[in-house]
Each structure stands twice: as C-alpha cells, then as structure tokens.
C-alpha cells in the first residue's frame, strides 16, 4: 500500500490565539500561551493544529485584516515565538497549519497605502478600483458580507475600492500578475519557515469579474444558508460575479505547484459560494487544493437527512478530492448549543465528535469542543465583533464562540490574570479543563478515548463511505478500507429508538468508550438518546 499523506483522515485542532492562553497579562491570548499548552493539545490525540491569524494587524476583524503578512503582531508575540511554537509542536508530533488570507489586506498594509494615494503610482492597480457611475453611486450592486455595499469611496483617487468584507479589508486585484507573484512570495515565506500547511481563508474570493457586472437578484425563498441572513442584504442577490471566478483555478494550480516543492505540505481551502459543494469538487480536483471545506454542517439543521444529503452531494461532486469537515469554528454558534439547544445533555458533545470524525475526510475541531463548551451570551456592552454590533439584536455576532478557553477554577478561568478581552461565562468555568481532568466520565476524557480508538480504525480514517437510507432520527453509513467494513449508526434525538438494522444482521458490535452504546439483537438496532453504534460487518 502506498504511504498515505498525513493530512488524509487527520484531526486538526483549531486554535484561536486571542482566546487560548494569555501569558503576558494583557487580557489577550498569545503564541507563548499556545506553546505552554501544547502538551494538553497533544494529549487530545489530534494530528495537527491550525492557528488562526497572528499577523501584524489593526485588528478591525481580529487579524483577518493583515498589515504585514510576514510578521507577528506584538499582541501575540514575535517571529521567534512562532518559530518556537513550530519547533515545540513538531517535537510532540503535531503538524502546524496557519491561516493565509490571500484575497484582501488591511487598509493599513503598505500596498494599500501606496495604491490609494494616486492613480499612477507603482501599486495603483494592486487593488480593485473603479470609477463611480455618472450619478456618483458605486460601480455596481455588489454587497459586502458584513452588510451594505461592497464599495468604499476614496477621495484621494476619486474612485471606489472593493471590499467583500469590512471596508477595512480592501480586495486585492488578482488580475494583476504582480499581485499574484507577491501573494505567492508571502506563502513561500511561511513554507520556508517550516509550516506544514495552510487554511486558506475565503479562497474563492481572490478574483472578481473584470467587467464588474451586476449580480442578479435572488428570490426571497432562496435566501437561506450560512451567512445568508434575511436581515442582511448580502442574501438578496446571487453572487455570480464578486467571487468564484474561473480564473481562480489557474491560480490554485500555481499555488499547488509551489507547495509541491515542500514535501508533506497541505492546503485546505475555505469555500462559500452559490454552490459550495460543486466549487469544492472543482477546487480539489487535479493539482489544486489538497482539501476543502464549506459550511453545510455549520448551519442549524441537525438532522440525519441533512447530513446524509450533504455527504452524498459532496461525494457526487468530489469523486477524487478529499473533504475536510467542521461542525464548529470561530465564526458560528458553538455546536452543542446550535444542535442541542440551551439544555443540551453533556454527553451530546462526545456523540457529535464521534459523528463528524467518522465521516470520510479530515476534520477540523475547534478549541473547546473537547470540553463540550456551549455558546456564551455576551451582553451588547461587551461585544467586540463588528458584525454583531452592526446586526444587534437580531444577530449577536461571533463573540459567543470566541470567549476564552477555561483552564481551571481560578479567576478568569486561568486564561489570564486580568480581565480578558471577552468575558468567561460562569458555566464555562464549571466545565474547565481542570475539573474535567478529575472526572473520568467527562467530555474531555470521552474525546481523548474516541480519538485514541479512531487511530486504530483504518476504515474510519481513510475508508470509502456509503450512506444508508434510514428514517429520522437515525444516521447510518458504512466505512470500508482494505477489506474491512464498519457499520456506523447515530441516534440524533434525545429519545431512544428501536429500528430494523439497516444492513446485514450478522454485524459484530465494537466497543467505543465514552459513547452511549447501542445494541444489536434479532435484526434490530436499539440506540439510546444521542447514542451510537459501531459494528464490523462480515467480509
């Protein structure tokens, strides 16, 4: 058997540096804090860490507005701190992936400062500039994800510039070959430094329609999906022209060619388009991205039918590519609350981990998922997220999933010795790492137990998947690899179920610790509420 790349079937632990551990008493987490907790991360049984942006930034969007792609913001430490993080992670057998935000910069970036100064400077065409319409309005009808028009007037040039996100995040002009070269030079800087891969933020936003055509209107009935809030005008149109342009494919192939010079490196693309699953298939085919993920499992729909349809649709669009799944991250409500409600049982967290880590693909796990953290209720006066501030009270933003990691029962949950940048909710202190370490029945111990068991199951890590047609609330599928087939079943409801076994009744039940276990008997399957069953099928 050919050697399987490390990233296939990997579990990647996402660290949001601001909220992981503060070591210099400024209320914000930092790179030395990650180093200090690497033993904990390694103990989880994950394969890699993904570190969210730590680059020089004015922090308008908490690091996704980058002013220097090759340096560490003093808030997080120094380049030497990053090098130490890289070395210490590798010493523990952990791969290190970092964010790369290629489609835009901060308004504070020197490139933009030069570009905005005039229409005839060396970087005048490095960003997406356009003249106003005859009546002074924006060049077209494109909308920003964060609400309102995607164009901002710049009086120094008497032109508008494009920003698909905040106005502090101007879009680069990828139609300019000098921009593409400069972006790839930045990528190579981190490859030369020794990183193992990249999570590519909004990778389908690099190119825009060069003709600046208007996006067509979208019917009210179709204004659905992650990021398409009915109170946000971004949902009012099909985004055919402001992202996901065909020119992006050649750029991805060039990016892949660069990464192929660095053995073992991997590129994971974040994709949100009008047909994200089709785009995933396109972006991971041939010599493009190694992996891709979209937002289908980051929505509020927690049903067997939704998960089954998502997996089947992705399989149809991605016959040769490799998916990466996520059910939580720093941009959405925490999954235990989103799928389990305000009074979710504590054992739901372990079922959700087992479910997502049993699908075909790699997995991104967000810090705190191993603790079963719930969404925090951050009051308006303490909000930091500009998205939440703009859309309050209909949408409270992303702060509720970004609150500090609770390490112990000390003030501020051991995250810091001073008031953190976001408050630590009391209910999070109750499930702090120190408390869960002392409780063998905790979500934390369950997480570790499942990850250790999964490592012994090649079919779960690398196998093919076949979804089985079952009634709600049963999610069932098989994973097959190298002559072995596993049956995997989950009851996605709080009530126990007793159903016909969805496949050969001779299946042999396998013990998987720390899950509410189901039973096989006389051709029937019994699963407790939020229960699971793993069984080996006859060859």
> Active-site residues: which are they?
201, 270
- What is each CA distance from 478 to 97, 360, 460, 490, in whole angstroms? 30, 10, 9, 12
Dihedrals phi, psi of 45, to nearest 5 degrees: 85, 20
| CA-atom Rg of the chain in angstroms | 23
Paired strand residues for 160: 130, 153
The gap from C-alpha 402 to its chain's centroid, in whole angstroms, comes to: 13
- What is each CA distance from 373 to 50, 156, 276, in whole angstroms? 19, 48, 28
**Element spanning 13, H or E:** strand 11-15
DSSP codes of every residue in 376-401: P---GGG---HHHHHHTTT---SGGG
Q: CA triplet 44, 49, 52: central angle to 5 degrees?
A: 130
DSSP state of 413: G
Q: Confirm if 325 and 364 have CB atoms less than 8 A apart.
A: yes
Structure tokens given for 175 = 């139609």
CA distance 62 to 420: 15
Query: Is the peptide bond prior to 393 cis by the omega test (within 30 degrees of 0)?
Result: yes
């Amino acid at each position: 058997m050919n050697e399987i790349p490390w990233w296939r079937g990997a579990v990647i632990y996402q660290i949001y540096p601001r909220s992981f551990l503060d070591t210099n008493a400024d209320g914000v987490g930092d790179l030395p804090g990650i180093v200090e907790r690497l033993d904990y991360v390694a103990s989880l049984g994950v394969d890699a860490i993904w570190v969210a942006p730590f680059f020089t930034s004015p922090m308008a969007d908490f690091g996704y507005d980058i002013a220097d792609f090759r340096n560490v913001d003093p808030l997080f430490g120094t380049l030497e701190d990053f090098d130490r993080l890289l070395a210490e992670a590798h010493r523990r057998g952990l791969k290190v992936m970092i964010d790369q935000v290629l489609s835009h910069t901060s308004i504070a970036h020197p490139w933009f400062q030069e570009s905005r100064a005039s229409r005839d400077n060396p970087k005048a065409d490095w960003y997406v500039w356009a003249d106003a319409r005859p009546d002074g309005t924006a060049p077209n009808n494109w909308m920003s994800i964060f609400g309102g028009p995607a164009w901002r007037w710049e009086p120094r040039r008497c032109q508008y510039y494009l920003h698909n996100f905040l106005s502090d995040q101007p879009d680069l002009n990828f139609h300019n070959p000098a921009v593409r070269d400069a972006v790839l030079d930045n990528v190579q800087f981190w490859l030369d430094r020794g990183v193992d891969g990249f999570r590519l933020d909004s990778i389908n936003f690099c190119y825009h329609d060069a003709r600046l055509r208007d996006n067509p209107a979208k019917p009210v009935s179709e204004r659905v999906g992650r990021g398409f809030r009915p109170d946000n005008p971004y949902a009012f149109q099909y985004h055919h022209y402001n992202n996901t342009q065909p020119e992006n494919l050649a750029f991805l192939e060039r990016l892949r060619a660069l990464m192929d010079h660095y053995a073992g490196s991997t590129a994971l693309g974040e994709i949100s388009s009008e047909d994200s699953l089709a785009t995933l298939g396109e972006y991971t085919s041939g010599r493009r991205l190694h992996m891709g993920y979209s937002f289908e499992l980051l929505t509020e729909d927690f049903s067997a039918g939704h998960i089954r349809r998502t997996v089947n649709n992705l399989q149809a669009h991605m016959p040769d590519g490799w998916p990466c799944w996520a059910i939580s991250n720093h941009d959405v409500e925490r999954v235990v609350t989103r799928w389990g409600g305000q009074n979710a049982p504590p054992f739901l967290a372990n079922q959700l981990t087992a479910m997502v880590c049993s699908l075909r693909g790699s997995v991104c796990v967000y810090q705190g998922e191993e603790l079963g953290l719930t969404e925090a209720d951050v009051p308006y006066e303490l909000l930091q997220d500009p998205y939440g501030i703009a859309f309050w009270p209909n949408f409270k933003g992303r702060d509720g999933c970004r609150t500090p990691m609770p390490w112990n029962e000390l003030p501020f949950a051991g995250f810091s010795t001073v008031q953190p940048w976001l408050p630590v909710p009391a209910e999070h202190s109750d499930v702090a790492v120190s408390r869960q370490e002392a409780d063998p029945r905790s979500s934390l111990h369950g997480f570790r137990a499942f990850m250790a068991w999964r490592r012994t199951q090649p079919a779960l890590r690398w196998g093919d998947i076949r979804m089985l047609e079952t009634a709600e609330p049963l999610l069932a599928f098989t994973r097959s690899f190298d002559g072995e087939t596993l049956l995997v079943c989950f009851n996605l409801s709080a009530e126990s179920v007793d159903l016909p076994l969805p496949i050969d009744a001779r299946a042999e039940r396998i013990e998987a610790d720390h899950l509410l276990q189901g039973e096989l008997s006389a051709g029937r399957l019994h699963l407790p509420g939020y229960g699971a069953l793993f069984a080996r099928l006859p060859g």
